[in-house]
Amino acid sequence: MSPSDAAASPGSPRERARTLGLYGLLAHWDEIEEDGWLPRLLQIEEEERRRRSLERRIHNARIGAFKSMADFDWTWPKKIHRPTIDELFHFQFIDEAANVVLLGPNGTGKTMIAKNLAYQALLRGYTVRFTTASDMLGDLAAQQTTGSLNRRLRRYCNPQLLVIDEAGYLSYDNRYADLLFEVVTRRYEQRSVVVTTNKPFAEWGEIFPNAACVVTLVDRLIHRAEIVPIEGDSYRLKEAKERASRKRKARPKARGKK
């Protein structure tokens, strides 16, 4: 290592330029290191790298469209513990490699909360993958070789946060149960999983009939997990009824027959 390299401490302008891969600048460092434009150039490059990194991670996360938590109607569910939900957005559970289970009937906001958790985790620098249970298991089951399956498993096992939406809405055979077990086992006590489900874990035998691994799967999923029950009627059904009512009122009244 040269004396000049030894002088480049972490966080120094020279080290920042090296991290950014600005080798042209580094080749002429002695000529430019005192120039007033250099700090601003490094700042612009770093901000642009962060922006592109975030865009790439958002794209890879596959979250899709969602409403902000600012639009969540906390008065609609009959039961929901808001302080627990708010605490999840501090993301201590990710740092602890703990899991989260959002449990409740259809239309009570589970997916909205899960997508907001995924997005806010991305903004804080975590790697994230969002998927429905059916998409993930179908994707894994479609792999024809052990090598391709292992590559696909890494897609779901490597991110710091994996969100599995809509577990329990369909029934699956033993092959799918084994694949979900493999994902949960590989992530167990190492990386966090957020699951939304409409079925209590006592009924998960209905999701995977005759699968021998269900008990162990559930045990590993709920070990050190925050289980958040939500009770209430479907908000989507409420909105649909209100929309239909508005349309009926807006239509001109039919004239009586003569």
Q: What is the pLDDT of residues 204-246, one digit of tens each?
A: 998 998 888 999 999 999 999 999 999 999 887 777 777 777 7
CA atoms within 13 A on the CB side of 230: 30
DSSP tally for the chain: helices H, then strands E: 14, 5
Residue from 113, 90, 134 nearest 196 by CA = 113
DSSP class of residue 164 equals E
pTM for the full model? Answer: 0.78
**Two tokens, residue 198:** 């409409």
At residue 153 the predicted structure's pLDDT band, cuts being 50, 70 and 90, is very high
d(CA 80, CA 93): 19
The region of weakest confidence among 2-6, 33-37, 129-133, 158-162 is: 2-6
Tell me how far apart the alpha carbons of residues 101 and 83 are, in angstroms, rounded to a whole number: 15
Domain spans, the chain: 79-235
Residue 256 DSSP symbol? P
Q: Output the CA torsion sign for 206, 131, 87, 79.
A: negative
pLDDT at 255 over 80: no
161-167 β-sheet, strand order? 128-132, 161-167, 192-197, 99-103, 225-229
pLDDT band at 138 (very low <50, low <70, confident <90, very high): very high
pLDDT bracket for residue 257 (50, 70, 90): low
Which among 137, 140, 126 is positioned nearest to 165, based on CA atoms?
137
Mean residue pLDDT across the chain: 89
Q: Does domain 79-235 have CATH number 3.30.1360.120?
A: no
Stretch (H or E) spanning 140: helix 133-141
